[in-house]
């Protein structure tokens, strides 16, 4: 099939950037979306046009590196699917596809479709851990954890840190991302000791990075490739309230 692409091109962080039109020719429906871009890039280079820069690594939906807004939706039209796992069978001959980077104040564009997401790492460094050192830990089975709690923690821990939730949110809020980490630890006994500091510090860092607030649009959940539930935002809010009450 043949497809017309409109792609965001921007030389660097200071460039203003604009949409460019390209033709994707002879695309197989078995290709992944990124393989389609590879083919387009090969073509561009043959025509002396610099290839489109986009982030990707694992290409199997787990590293969280890929980050394209396709036709206005982060990671494209398929629910629960990263863009690297989206296959061209979901498009048809003659389609127009618009491809843009994540847009958020806290995620500046570095080039074309590549953005800077280090703000997420700084939020993690503010509290996304259990403060233990290597060695000297008790036997793993010394601490039974009810299966339902472990399962809840795992549901939250499945977040791949891609940032689609931010890109989808009108306020560019990072609440779903932060809530996932806070909820993972809040569901486990290991996370209890630092419960208060964790939620307080991570949220403070989130604000500092320039992410917006949550006003319950829940676009984040719809865009999340790992189906992280907004119920974790509610859980985090309770954690936060609890932490605030416990403050002196």
Partner 1 sequence: MILDPKIPSGPLAEKWNKHKFDMKLVNPANKRKYKAIVVGSGLAGGAAAASLAELGYQVSCFCYQDSPRRAHSIAAQGGINASKNYQNDGDSVYRLFYDTIKGGDFRSREANTYRLAEVSANIIDQCVAQGVPFARDYGGLLDNRSFGGAQVSRTFYARGQTGQQLLLGAYSALSRQIGLGNVIMHTRMEMLDLVVVDGRARGIVVRNMVTGEVSSHAADAVILATGGYGNVFYLSTNATGCNVTATYRAHKKGAFFANPCYTQIHPTCIPVAGDYQSKLTLMSESLRNDGRIWVPKKQGDERPADQIPEDERDYYLERKYPSFGNLAPRDISSRSAKEACDDGRGVGETKVGVYLDFKDAIKRLGKDTIAERYGNLFDMYNRITGEDPYTVPMRIYPASHYTMGGLWVDYNLESTVPGLFVLGEANFSDHGANRLGASALMQGLADGYFVIPYTLGNFYARSGVSDVTTEHPEFKKVEADVAERTNKFLSIGGKRTPDSFHKELGKVMWENCGMGRNEAGLKKAIELIPKIREEFWSNLKVLGKGEELNQSLESAGRVADFLEFAEMMCHDALDRDESCGAHFREEHQSDEGEAVRNDKDYLYVAAWEYAGVGKKPNLHKEPLVFENVELATRSYK
Give me the residues that bind ligand SF4 (CB under 6 A), please.
Answer: 159-165, 176-177, 180, 223-226, 228
Sign of CA dihedral 80, 114, 63, 95: positive
Query: Smaller CB distance to ligand SF4: residue 3 or 181?
Result: 181
CA distance 30 to 32: 7
For ligand FES, which residue of 39, 63, 110, 145 counts as binding (CB under 6 A)?
63
Alpha helices in the chain (DSSP H): 33-46, 118-125, 147-157, 164-168, 175-186, 195-208, 219-223, 231-246
CA distance 83 to 30: 14
For ligand FES, which residue of 62, 145, 158, 222 counts as binding (CB under 6 A)?
62
Contacts (Cβ under 8 Å, ≥6 apart) of 11: 17, 111
Site for partner 1 in 88-117 (CB under 8 A): 89, 110-111, 114, 116-117
- Chain centroid to Cα 36, Å, comes to 22
- Interface segment toward ligand FES; rule CB under 6 A; list 58-66, 98-106, 128-136, 231-239: 58-66
For partner 1, which residue of 1, 6, 20, 49 counts as binding (CB under 8 A)?
49
Query: Smaller CB distance to ligand FES: residue 84 or 202?
Result: 84
Q: Which residues pair with 70 in a beta bridge?
A: 73, 99
How long a stretch of residues is the chain?
248
Query: Smaller CB distance to partner 1: residue 118 or 244?
Result: 118
State the minimum distance, in angstroms, from the CB of residue 65 to partner 1: 5
Site for ligand FES in 73-102 (CB under 6 A): 82, 84
Q: Is residue 49 involved in binding ligand FES (CB under 6 A)?
A: no
- Interface segment toward ligand FES; rule CB under 6 A; list 22-30, 55-63, 130-138, 203-211: 55-63
Instruction: Tell me how many degrees the CA angle 19-113-164 measures, rounded to the nearest 5.
Output: 115
Site residues for ligand FES per CB under 6 A: 56-59, 61-66, 82, 84
């Amino acid at each position: 099939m043949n497809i017309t692409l409109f792609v965001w091109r921007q030389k660097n962080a200071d460039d203003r950037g604009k949409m460019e039109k390209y033709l994707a020719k002879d695309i197989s429906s078995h290709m992944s979306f990124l393989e389609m871009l590879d083919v387009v890039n090969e073509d561009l280079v043959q025509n002396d046009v610099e290839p489109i820069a986009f982030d990707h690594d694992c290409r199997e939906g787990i590293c969280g590196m890929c980050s394209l807004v396709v036709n206005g939706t982060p990671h494209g039209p398929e629910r629960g699917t990263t863009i690297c796992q989206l296959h061209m069978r979901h498009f048809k001959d003659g389609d127009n596809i618009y491809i843009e980077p994540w847009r958020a104040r806290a995620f500046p564009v570095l080039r074309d479709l590549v953005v800077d997401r280090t703000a997420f790492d700084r939020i993690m460094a503010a509290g996304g851990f259990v403060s233990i050192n290597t060695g000297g830990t008790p036997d793993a089975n010394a601490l039974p954890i009810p299966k339902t709690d472990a399962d809840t923690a795992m549901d939250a821990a499945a977040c791949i840190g891609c940032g689609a939730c931010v890109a989808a949110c009108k306020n560019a809020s990072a609440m779903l991302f932060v809530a996932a980490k806070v909820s993972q630890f809040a569901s486990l006994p290991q996370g209890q000791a630092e419960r208060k500091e964790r939620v307080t510090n991570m949220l403070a860092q989130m604000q500092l990075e320039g992410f917006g607030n949550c006003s319950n649009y829940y676009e984040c959940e719809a865009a999340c490739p790992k189906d992280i539930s907004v119920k974790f935002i509610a859980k985090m809010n309770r954690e936060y309230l609890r932490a605030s009450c416990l403050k002196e």
